[in-house]
Amino acid sequence: MNPLEDELNLRLLRFLVSGSGVSVNIRAVSKDMNIHRNTARRRINSLYYNKIISPPFYSFPYLYNVYPFLVLAKADMPRTEDLIEFLKDDSHIFAAFSCMEGPYNTFLIEFFKDLEYYHNWREQIVKEQKIPSREKRAPADVYIFSNKLTFKYDPNCFIGEFRKEFEKNGFLDIGQLRLDNISFNILENLMKGNYIQRNDSFLSRELELNRKTIKNHVEMLIEREIIGKPKCFFPNLFIPPGYNLVVSMIEARSKKQEFKNYIIENNNISRALEASTGRYNILIFSAFKTIEYFFEMGEQIMGKFPDSIGAISNIILSSRMIHAIKPQKLSLAFIERKLWDIKKLNVQSGT
């Protein structure tokens, strides 16, 4: 049986993916770093308050199986509060940014089950007047990819670059904070998944199950790669605070595997997919504190692969133009829909 057809698993996932019942073990942080518990608590809360990281939760990588259809769209959208709320609430829009690309002012990252579902969704949001009809705006410029062709998914890969910067300067400036040794070590550990605890007593009370059952189900969900181990992530997942996102379509003419290995090892590239869009066969998502650093990476790529890389198309998105979207939004919306479907079936069958 598919674990996602089981009501118990779905109810448990709702807690784990939202981070309910998941927290940082303050006592363990205090003991290992030889600091007072109140100090550990204040430093962690400062990271939350200043939106450097979010509280821990279990990621839901199975989402890429549920929604294998990835759409990148440059769109002409009205800049209204209703539109912003739609972008934040819609269960298929993973992320949205303001941009300036020809006639387009919005860049969208969207997930769908298939092409038919995507088509029906577009028709429906126009019908419901969530967005203007085609005659009142420039038609969207859309690129389609497969989430199943992902060969790198590591939202926390930036911690490697953070470590280099910290060792060079003796501190790390991120967002509006300057992190000293204690705060940096806490950040590094939480983003690696250390000191994260699950409150099985809380979950057992909420789900009316014993703790051993909870433990067994969580281990099964991790083993089957439905969820990942709990960590703290950036509030915007793939983008550290104050960084700029760059979405690049790349033509790798030769040495493709070597280039993929370079991408996997690069600490500024958090996600990468194989592609087949025109002349482009690789899609990457990278982020940089300054655009200059991005161009330095470009020069490095050309130096390492002088005859292998052809055309490159980049979309640069400012850190100040991100519409805040909760990383778990799509995952939790899917889980809620599955629970609703099971509830309907139970009503129809009289159980």
Return the pLDDT at 350: 66
The residue extents of the domains of the chain are: 240-322
Residue 307 has pLDDT above 70, yes or no: yes
DSSP codes, 69-131: EEEEEEE-----HHHHHHHHH-TTEEEEEEEEETTEEEEEEEEES-HHHHHHHHHHHHHTTSS
Residue 141 has pLDDT above 80, yes or no: yes
Cα angle 24-96-190, degrees, rounded to a multiple of 5: 15
Cβ atoms of 21 and 206 within 8 Å: the answer is yes
Mean pLDDT is highest, among 23-37, 84-98, 314-328, for 23-37
In whole numbers, what is the pLDDT of the chain averaged over residues? 92
Return the pLDDT at 351: 61
C-alpha to C-alpha distance for 108 and 94, rounded to whole angstroms: 8
Q: Return the structure tokens found at 79.
A: 């800049």
- Residue 135's pLDDT band, with cuts at 50, 70 and 90, is confident
Average pLDDT over residues 28-55: 96
Name the residue among 70, 72, 73 with its Cα closest to residue 137: 73
Average pLDDT over residues 109-135: 89
Cβ atoms of 277 and 249 within 8 Å: the answer is yes
C-alpha to C-alpha distance for 119 and 79, rounded to whole angstroms: 23
* Share above pLDDT 90 across residues of the chain, in percent, rounded to a whole number: 79
* Share above pLDDT 70 across residues of the chain, in percent, rounded to a whole number: 99
Name the residue among 274, 279, 314, 311 with its Cα closest to residue 294: 314
Return the pLDDT at 81: 87
- Residue 140's pLDDT band, with cuts at 50, 70 and 90, is confident
CA distances from 260 to 65, 177, 337 (A): 22, 34, 36
Return the pLDDT at 13: 97
Average pLDDT over residues 208-221: 95
The DSSP call for residue 165 is H
Please, where are the H alpha helices in 102-240? 115-127, 159-169, 181-191, 200-207, 211-223
Return the pLDDT at 225: 94
Q: Which CATH architecture has domain 240-322?
A: 2-Layer Sandwich (3.30)
Burial of 242 (0-12, 13-18, 19+ CB in 10 A): middle
Residue 125 has pLDDT above 80, yes or no: yes
C-alpha to C-alpha distance for 24 and 47, rounded to whole angstroms: 12
Return the pLDDT at 20: 97
- Residue 318's pLDDT band, with cuts at 50, 70 and 90, is confident
- Residue 102's pLDDT band, with cuts at 50, 70 and 90, is confident
Cβ atoms of 253 and 310 within 8 Å: the answer is yes
Residue 148 has pLDDT above 80, yes or no: yes
At position 123, the amino acid (one-letter code) is E
Measured on CA atoms in the order 34, 36, 37, 41, is the torsion positive or negative? negative
Average pLDDT over residues 238-247: 93
Return the pLDDT at 2: 86
